[in-house]
Structure 1
């Protein structure tokens, strides 16, 4: 049973389960993962191996490996985020009997708690073994936010009705494979080769492995000690066993009835991708030898988290459930994207660092993740955008190979930025492998452009724009200028052969040609970025503009084409103001939605259902997730109105409602991101409906609404999207001409809402209460005044001052 309880610093800091349920363990492992923005480990039982109930997994940014699978005689190449050696392993043996696990003891009580504030895991198990001995075992663990290379576990063993000898087996296991996603089971899961185990003195064991193709060395070292009731280190007998890819120590000692013994396993984690190291194994062994006790390390870890909560917490005092889930989402976002991440060559895996879904690849989910970070920890966004910049040459090569100019980023990216989208995927409904054409989602390049510009607007980081951002943006614009073609009959520019965010439509029914014509989302984004490209050029000095143009090959003709595209992109419409998802969408067949709901219940993945029936989703007016309507989410109404009018199309106030109504009835919401977009759009149209969608998104990972997907990795986009919806959707945050505007919506239980944010270097505290919006600018001696607008009123707020707007 899922339970929430109040913490000492406010309500709902703890996610807790009060029973052990094997069928739920995979989900709970993902939700209670511990990470620090460098590496992350699933919340698995310490003694568990991959057995169909538990799935231990440790992952680090950039830890990719590419392997080939022979499928029906055809080589299929895939790159995966590698499951790295398991550092968790601790086992307990009592009087020489088999090690304790959930299958050989009677559980008398059980508690699995996740401390959201400190991303720390605690389990308390009270059990009776086959000899009638009753024992309480409390286990705690964290991955340090203070020391990026440190993790720690603490066990407290209390014999309740017995005394005797116990053995604790402390292991490092490199025999792991990638096997956390059932539909990938036929793909090669071996990614590690053993290098060597070793010891550093009597207390420390260490293990090094290497990824098979990418040749990344990964080292872990563990120091295990036993402490008595008085806190002193016990003198224990130690035994050692090791193989090429596995090493363990056996610690033997006596325990007395009613007197707890404490076992601490301190762990260090290094890879050959790290900075300022000699080599991973030596550094791991050296580091773990210097670590203090668990409590000392946890104190530093908790202080580091306190600093993050000071700038990231979102307070919703009148809804405890919303409060808990928002904080859970903040915690998970920061475990994947922390200040440690800013110094790494890292993108954001769509499913975080606690599962293997999507093979750990980086998609367009950044679009939903960066807005929360931009206003709180922009240095993290900056570092993540550098992941894209470092792969700019690969994007250029992809464009050139396809016959285009500029930079064409891949739909799925991994280690070096080449296209990692699989060519086939398994349909779990039919058990058949089917072609995958999703690499045609070229809109990812437009999304990256959008992310760079939004980062610049929020931070004013002109140095980044000058050194990196403008180059990416203009080369992306050059790609769109080359893939678009002018249709003289329409006097419009068109884009063919692409897919939109929908993903249910890969091509026209019965066609052998991949892609669609004039996806509305893509075309409108391209019209917008064409105009912004001209603005970027105007921001540069003449010297920088000439140098950059020469470096990337930007010509006056291309600039002229971009100006024309900003006015003449074709946008398909049908009916009364309905934006067609793509050209020809209105000619598709309607689907009998009710019959499919009645037959299948959950029809979020209609594409799999239809294909399993031998049908074709390309035939129907259906949508996996927000596509055309996503435009109304990403752009404020005044921006979209100006954009459509610049293109020569009418934009009526009712257009938003009409399009949401039309597509809502034809959308399966097969991605939880879809609920985010629809909730954001509906905030100003139908607040009650918006809040209902919002709660679905907020509960989606905890409740595993997609039926088993969360255990494969949390959904970073929806978690960060629920946070962005508070600031952007419900408080109506928007930046125009260097002014931060708010337009609060009367949605949900948000009275009393408050949160910190940072706008162009100035820390702000925003509070919504009693029909008033208060914005306070903090004073630290460095901050500039900020302009804040509400309801047509713009105020300049000096550092140390505040202003209250009456709504």
Structure 2
């Protein structure tokens, strides 16, 4: 079996028996938290960490279940200062199944001799299976197989099955099945000084002999959450009745099932669970809804078949095949499986954004940042309805974006750097530096570029899908309001005859202000200013794309003034962009900063990805140095093609020589610590065109970053959605060279030497396609079967062809 080493133990490995399996053999307490994240089970509505059902949260194990968009706010007093935080809530634990043999203590891995252990996630269906053989203190050997999944076919349902086999004994045993509301948000060590108790007890209920139910309330947001569980026992495929003992408190409920076990005879425990919240439509009383739903649930085998069919349809639309590198193939499928666990068709109708760390951990408190910029390119080409639904999360929060801009003295829509339930700014005012133990001021809310990313996301969605209805009724209003914000935050400099933007931060995050300055923010971040020039150019002519009645309605709704459009046109030609030494400056004054002795810091610290923490712990600041946490100015070359960026810069009146991209990218590549794994995505993408080997090197680091937990413990706190989505997008957009412009699908391959080719499924203009890129040819196959599918125009190099419905075209690259 090919092996991926994920832990220090020689006898504990993670690997794959095929490209659709993430498997571990041997139990390693130090790696269990990482494995729990990577083997989570989700369906786009809810997600549960891969914790063992028989274990409680104890520093090794951390059960956690999360629902998209379900937050609660709490306040902590730190040194007499109130610190407010909103968290994605860890909901009542539906997992507990515990085994007690012969009246002994319940099974805990730490208290038995493990004879055999495996832990596997089937990526095809996000099904988690544990196989355990153990010997207890009395010498009894028992086999236990645990299988569970969160249904992709029925969004409110989850299933758990145990198969227990006494191997050398017969006798009595008990299985405890429970729903536990005594949970807190305790999954991120650096947050443990902060308030983490988000649930208050509601009630518990035994509505039927085989059903238990629990209701809880979030303390501040007043969301009601109810779960119901039905537990059945089977032998030889036949349901059997067993004695049951009930126990409950206001926040915990359990049944103890008494079993008579016979040596060599397997007994199956089937636990079906339903979960509803008061945020769900057509729900009413959540306890009643959960009870009715779980009673009507399919038997587990039928439910599993239905679940696998739903996943099969997703893989048919979303799979990606890589030829020539089995490890890359495997990890891409790990990523695709997790993306779909977080964002599936179930997500489309939710009021939910894209949490940067998914919904299988508590890092970043479940907040929504700008990571959707990296997520949407994968989704829009496969599940455009999901992208549309996620964009609606932003649209529904326009009033808060307007209020935030007004409070800061601006106009239009200013979206927060960190967003939660309401769309208000959720960025912490202080942030714990684990290296120093100090709480430092957090100025990252000045990353106003998140509003530019939202504008970009809307425009890309509309361009790729031609969803003119969304543009007319939602998108145009968002985009024009964002353009108004940028117009108001910019000011005109008569001396330069250019527009400038001050007091912001770029994506870099290491530079929060100028060295020694009391005022936060920087002047003329190049990424922001160039982006704004592009935004203003599109916004100035956006109303011309709408039917006149809709254009008039949008204009009236925004109270748009003619002089605003005139200013946008002027800004599209006169934004200031700083340069130094023939490269784009990250921000004005960057050239005056000090060069860092990179070799010295690597020799002293080894891992210097988080240089900001290192420097601040030394009493220094990254503000003084020419360095970056992640791609900043380089992001321009990631988002825009060479020709498009050249048009923007030249329209601004600046020279953009042929080698400008390469020089700028290489300059910052030498000065970037890659403190965010997103940075590897960006640098891999921009290097693909002129240094494919360097691109491939960075791509493989990003690809393995979560599975190998290269940041030393962060993955156990939640996957990195932007990185997982970005790797798949990188293959399609930079290695296959796929983009849309001029009303056609264009492919300009840049295959790295590490692979022979790629093939992926996608949807363009409601037409299902399979694109295959090899070294000597490109093939586009139009998969028939969609009612409103149309022929698709494709351009490879200089050759254009129309791919007919159900047809196939091959383009030679030789």
For 1:282, the equivalent position in structure 2 comes to 288
Q: Is the aligned partner of 1:4 residue 2:10?
A: no
Question: What is residue 719 of structure 2 aligned with on the other side?
Answer: 714
CA distance in 2, matches of 1:496, 1:257: 75
- Give the Cα separation in 1 of the matches to 2:120 and 2:468: 44
Q: Does 1:753 align with 2:758?
A: yes
Partner of 1:437: 443
Matched with 1:161 is 168
RMSD over aligned CA atoms reads 0.9
Q: Residues 636 and 734 of structure 1 are in contact (CA less than 8 Å); yes or no, is this contact kept in structure 2?
A: no
Match of 1:306 among 280, 303, 312: 312
CA distance in 2, matches of 1:2, 1:22: 13
Asked if 2 retains the 8 angstrom alpha-carbon contact of 1:347 and 1:362, the reply is yes
1:28 equivalent in structure 2: 35
1:81 Cα offset (Å): 0.4
Structure-2 residue corresponding to 1:583: 588
- 3-state SS in 1 of match to 2:745: strand
Maintained 8 Å contact 1:508/1:516? yes
Tell me whether 1:115 sits opposite 2:116 in the alignment.
no
- The equivalent residue for 2:8 is none
- In the other structure, the counterpart of 2:508 is 502
Deviations 1:665-710 (A, max 9, x none): 1100000000000000111111111111000000000000000000
Q: Which residue of 2 aligns with 1:636?
A: 641
Structure 2: distance between partners of 1:218 and 1:535: 47
Aligned twin of 1:662: 667
SS of 2:794's equivalent in the other structure is strand
Give yes or no for the alignment of 1:96 onto 2:103.
yes
Does structure 1 residue 797 correspond to structure 2 residue 782?
no
Contact kept, 8 Å, 2:34 with 2:715, in 1: the verdict is yes
Q: Which residue does the alignment assign to 2:730? A: 725
2:403 aligned with 1:397: yes
* Equivalent position of 1:740 in the other structure: 745
Equivalent position of 1:610 in the other structure: 615
Q: 1:535 Cα deviation (Å)?
A: 3.2
Q: Is the 8 A contact 1:505 1:617 kept in 2?
A: yes
| Offset of residue 626 of structure 1 | 0.2
**Contact 1:91–1:170 (8 Å) recurs in 2:** yes
Q: Contact 2:180/2:251 (CA < 8 Å) preserved in 1? A: yes
8 Å Cα contact 1:2-1:15 kept in structure 2: no
- Deviation sequence 1:761-798 (CA, Å, 0-9, x none): 11111011251001122333422222111112221222
Structure 1: stretches of 5+ with no match in the other structure: none
Match of 1:769 in 2: 774
Residues in 1 aligned to 2:27 and 2:782: alpha-carbon distance in whole angstroms: 47
Contact 2:736/2:751 (CA < 8 Å) preserved in 1?
A: no
Q: Which of 633, 648, 653 is residue 653 of structure 2 equivalent to? A: 648
For the residue of structure 2 that corresponds to 1:794, the secondary structure is strand
- Count, aligned residues: 801
CA distance in 2, matches of 1:39, 1:460: 30
Q: In the alignment, does 2:466 pair up with 1:460?
A: yes
Q: Secondary structure at the match of 1:315?
A: strand
The residue aligned with 2:9 is none
TM-score, normalised to structure 2, is 0.98
1:175 is paired with a residue whose SS is coil
Out of 176, 182, 189, the residue aligned to residue 196 of structure 2 is: 189
SS of residue in 1 equivalent to 2:163: strand
| Residue of structure 1 in register with 2:380 after alignment | 374
**Aligned residue for 2:3?**
none
> What whole-Å deviation, never above 9, does each CA across 1:270-310 have from its counterpart, x for those lacking one?
10001111211101011111113211111110000000000
| C-alpha separation in 2, matches of 1:594 and 1:174 | 51
Distance in 1 separating the partners of 2:621 and 2:365? 26
Contact 1:772–1:804 (8 Å) recurs in 2: yes
> What CA deviation, in whole Å up to 9, does each residue of 1:98-157 have, x standing for no partner?
001111100011101110110010000110000000001110100000000000000011
Tell me which residue corresponds to 1:264.
270
CA distance in 2, matches of 1:600, 1:257: 56
Q: Which residue of 1 aligns with 2:234?
A: 227
Matches within 5 A, 1:268-347: 268-347=274-353
Partner of 1:678: 683
2:139 to 119, 132, 140: 132
The gaps in structure 2 that reach 5 residues or longer are 1-11
8 Å Cα contact 1:4/1:12 also seen in 2: no
* In 2: Cα distance, 1:731 partner to 1:567 partner: 33
SS at match of 1:233: strand
CA distance in 1, matches of 2:631, 2:661: 13
- Report Cα offsets for 1:386-423 as digits up to 9, x if no partner: 00000011101111111111100000000010000010
